[in-house]
Amino acid sequence: YCMKAVSLSLSRLEADLRMADRAVGTIQQYLASVRRFEEFLGQDLADADQGAIRRWVEYLQGQPIGPERLRCHYSALKFLYGRTLGQPDKVAFLSMPRKDAPLPTVLTAAEVQRVLDGFLVAKYRVFFTLIYVTGLRISEAGLLETRDINAFQQVIHVRNGKGGKDRLVPMPPKLYGLLRTYWKHERPPAPWLFASKAGRPICHETARRALLCASARAGIGKIVTPHMLRHSFATNLLEHGTDLRRIQVVMGHDSIRSTTIYTQVSPILIASMRSPMEDLTV
């Protein structure tokens, strides 16, 4: 969480989300989104009219975020006004972005290195290194606890994945060494691996801003998002011979269809295909 003060509306929202049995990651995302909206408003959430909500939506649409994250922001608003505050008419105009988004943008290993070198705060450099090396969603990485790091089996236990599902992801020795060095230096408050100054899980929005600043310093001509690092991880695995089924399991995809998209965005795989041109004499 990014702020110490918690408004009454936010407290009620959190209670309602828990009552609705939403996943821990979903609750954290909704609360972070509504907190940002509350800061944007500068007034009580219950007092906002539809015009103010429309201005917030227009602001979001102007930000470098994809359809899935926009859907999360809109869903948070719909839950807040539709269920917690009992004012569904205020968000009746909202339409969810289409899911059939363009092919994801991926980064080369050299571009990722330049972005990671652009961080000024070690905590965020380690946090996004972890996301790139494991393919975790930012909501999953932000909720990691020290008990989730299994040095003996060289895996990380993801306890609050999308849909509330647990899974294991590989932890290479270099990553474990980086995490140990970071933990010894930072000593984040238990049980979190990455925490805010208030002792809560790391604030997603603050981390995203740090990533945007780092990508600007990198000078690669791309606005880097956490999900772009996740896409780059999967594409890197595919290019190095990992089969789609294993990538699906590590990424936490329910359907293999979500994983096959990476076969369309890898320049190395596409360029290596044998062309019918080889059979022609021209």
Catalytic residues: 137, 162, 227, 230, 253, 262
Residues 238/143, Cβ–Cβ less than 8 Å: no
Within the chain, residue ranges assigned H as helices are 8-19, 24-41, 50-61, 67-79, 109-117, 122-134, 138-142, 173-186, 204-218, 226-239, 244-251, 256-260, 267-271
Prior bond to 191 cis, omega within 30? yes
H or E element that contains 149? strand 149-150
Closest CA to 193 of 139, 145, 135, 156: 145
**Letter for the amino acid at 254?**
D
Q: What would the two tokens of residue 268 be? A: 């190395």
Specify the residue for token string 């929202």.
Answer: 13
The sheet with strand 155-158 has its strands ordered as 149-150, 155-158, 167-170
